[in-house]
Chains A and B, each alone.
Chain A
Amino acid sequence: MMLTLAHISKTFGATRAIDDVSLDLDRGQVTGIVGENGAGKTTLMRIIAGEIAPDTGNVQLDGRAALVHQHFMLVSNFTVAENLALVDATDPSRLFRTHRTLERRAEAIIGRSGIDLRGVARRVDELSVGERSKLELIKAIASDPDILILDEPTSVLTPNESSELFRVIQRLAAAGTAVLFISHKLREVLEVAPRIVVMRAGRIVADTTSQGMSAEDLATAMVGEHQAIASIVGVQNDENRATAERRSPSAERRIHPLRCEHISGERLDDVTFDVPSGQVVAILGVAGNGQVELASMLRGLEAPRSGAVLLDGKPATRRQLLGSGAVGHIPEDRTRDGIVAQMSIAENIALTSRTPLRHARGFAQRLIELYSIRAQNASQPAGLLSGGNQQKVVLARELDRRPAVIVAAEPTRGLDIAATRFVHEQLRLAAAAGSGILLMTSDLDEAFALASVMYVIYRGHLSDPLTPRDAAMQVGPLMAGVA
């Protein structure tokens, strides 16, 4: 055995994240790890990688492990080449290289990894989220690990890039590397991993071969037999729908709560679109085509070089976009832009809500129940929640106050099936209640599930608006820039 875990347990505060887990791993084996948000997958991986120590139990690792995080562990004011130089063990004099040499070596490392990433002279903070996650992956592969752990690697990749990644995984496995692969995309796990470990509430509840398993079987194992997914979502929806209908604002008045007219910037070129109230408008595209800049302009953090953002038909200043409360944001990078980890759930929610502060805790408690956020109570620091539950906190906070416009960037990235369906349902309800929703996503299924109008963004250009029926034929080529 290359890795043996024996009776591992780990507790954070009052939460038992890992509860008596034992696991063996062989060389060259690809193992999928699935489970709902908060099931303990990431914690277990961090224990294997030696980042955190278990409270009890024993880890025996023959070799070294590399973990590719959901969150980025990059030096953001270094270039891609410099970040790779930090892990380039084959170059002993790497500190004394010219930029040109570093860049050539970086290109070689990237080439060996089999992953497509260009522009190694760019600083990491100029990269899109998708590009950063590729860089993380390249870094991990470059260190030539015995175990490679991938936490949600495909959530920011296009289908093509995903298959490219799977080929890389197969190649590494054939060369003897054990690969652990966490994903919420069950079909993907079934495709790539011969062995699948299912976690629930800190325990391993199933450890099987993928042969003969279906995505439905896995989903059932993840949530437990007594809780069919549909029923969880169903109950919640009825409650929320009632709330939504009660406070549906004067939807008719706001016909076009958000419009962008000919806005251009560093990576955006003459972008014009329109978000009518009561509808979901999707901007679909692979990460790194200008979405980050667009989101930042809509939040009022930077001004367009030319063109205007209009709220309710009137040109909006940056201050209005930022502070008026008319625009709710569900940011793409939830740990950096979504929550304040050190503050409690109640405080995070109170940041934008209009509820008086002395009622903040009770209010948050109500949202915790309404949005089925898995937390002990509203005073728990938001940083202790799992990624999916952090996302639900942001979602609850932004949707509950019913802003005229909601900008949702990759709102379900890294979420499990139940949470994804829940988020989608909430966005639909918000639209039904009169908000105009701008959905920026790289996930085709998500766009088709929600949007009535779609645009494709490619290198800062926006396509013509497409109906879902037209889009079905055209998005593929448009996203790849070949239409």
Chain B
Amino acid sequence: MRRLAVGIGAAALSLLLLALAGAAFGHSPRVLLEILVSGSIGSRFALEGTLLKSVPLLLTGLAVVIAFRAGVWNIGGEGQFIVGALAAYLTSRFGTTAALLAAAVAGALWASIASLLRVWRNAPEVLTTILLNFIAIHLLGYCVNGPLQEASGQYPQSDPVPQAAALPLLGGSSLHAGIVVALLVTLASWWLLYRTREGLRLRATGFNPSAAQYAGVDVNAQIARAMALSGAVAGLAGAIELLGVTHRLFERVAAGYGYAGIAVALLAQLHPIATIAAAAFFGALATGAGELQRSASISSSVATFGQAVVILVLILFGSMRAFAPGRDE
């Protein structure tokens, strides 16, 4: 209950700070908030935009929840998202299911590179996953400027995925079936973490790896599995964004979703179900920020500002300490 209050408080406070920051630049805070609200949930169009943005955030948020629960800082969601999208693109001619599966496998393998480096060289994941992001970003850049560039060779982007592989739209809206997949993954994550022995051991590893070992948990294997799972979910996010929204690969296809997942997971206080609400909040913030840019000429990067403020507010509430990974203690 306290955690719920903290989460809502942090979200509300960050909106308030956002509006006040606007005031510092001569905008009326009330007008800013009104635009944010109407631009994110004020119309059917806005609401659909919010939901579309929430789907990748939900999945990258879950990826972070799974890893952090096991006590490992997976900052590599962005890279895992990108290799997922790449794998989905390459396998899209075999159909949607194949593409989604390939993306999950690719994300898992990409994340597992960090696990291997940990086991072989004791390299901390917090560093290796970030570095793997840069490799993935440049790999994607090379692909859309080279082997995967569209046939016309005009822009640094790929041709669209085959129509048959695209995610079906839901009842005449712009919403795609990925939202259902994301919700199913959410439920599955909750079930895994709180209703299976695997999840119990994963959480024990995150809280107190030393005690987990003495209870017979192979901590290194546990962490490796959590990383792979985390990478798979982030990779899936990439595939869903490709097959549901962008249909093409281009350099900015990940659009920071991987990093934003960290803010989502922290706002959800690492609870899988709460991640739905946190993802919707950041989805709304991003969509509303787009409207701010259009109607008030404020850069839409205020959404990123909002993410940062949420994390800072959570630190202020001191709720980060409870779940900060303590493996290197």
Contact = CB atoms under 8 A, between A and B. Distances in A.
B214 interface: yes
B215 A352 contact: yes
Contact of A357 (B195, B211, B322): B195
Contacts of B204: 340, 343, 347, 351
B217 interface: yes
B213 A301 contact: yes
A323 interface: yes
Interface in A380-408: 397
B295 interface: no
Given A340-B204, A347-B200, A351-B200, A331 B214 contact: yes
Contacts of A352: 215-216
Nearest to B322: A342
A342 B210 contact: no
B201 interface: yes
B225 interface: no
Contacts, number: 63
A168 B57 CA distance: 61
B208 interface: yes
A357 B204 CA distance: 15
B200 A338 contact: no
B211 A299 contact: no
Contacts of B210: 336-337
B53 interface: no
A337 B211 contact: yes
B212 interface: yes
Contacts of A351: 200-201, 204, 212, 215-217
Contacts of A350: 197, 200
A357 B207 contact: no
Interface in A302-342: 319, 322-323, 325, 329, 331, 336-342
A322 B213 contact: yes
B34 interface: no
Interface of B: 195-197, 200-201, 203-204, 207-208, 210-218, 322, 329
Given A337-B211, A351-B204, 16 more contacts: A76-B329, A322-B213, A325-B216, A338-B211, A340-B204, A340-B208, A340-B211, A341-B208, A342-B208, A342-B322, A343-B207, A347-B204, A350-B197, A351-B212, A357-B195, A358-B195
17 contacts: A322-B213, A325-B216, A329-B215, A336-B208, A337-B214, A339-B211, A340-B207, A340-B211, A343-B204, A343-B207, A347-B203, A347-B204, A348-B215, A350-B200, A351-B215, A351-B217, A352-B216
Interface of A: 76, 299, 301, 319, 322-323, 325, 329, 331, 336-343, 347-348, 350-352, 357-358, 397
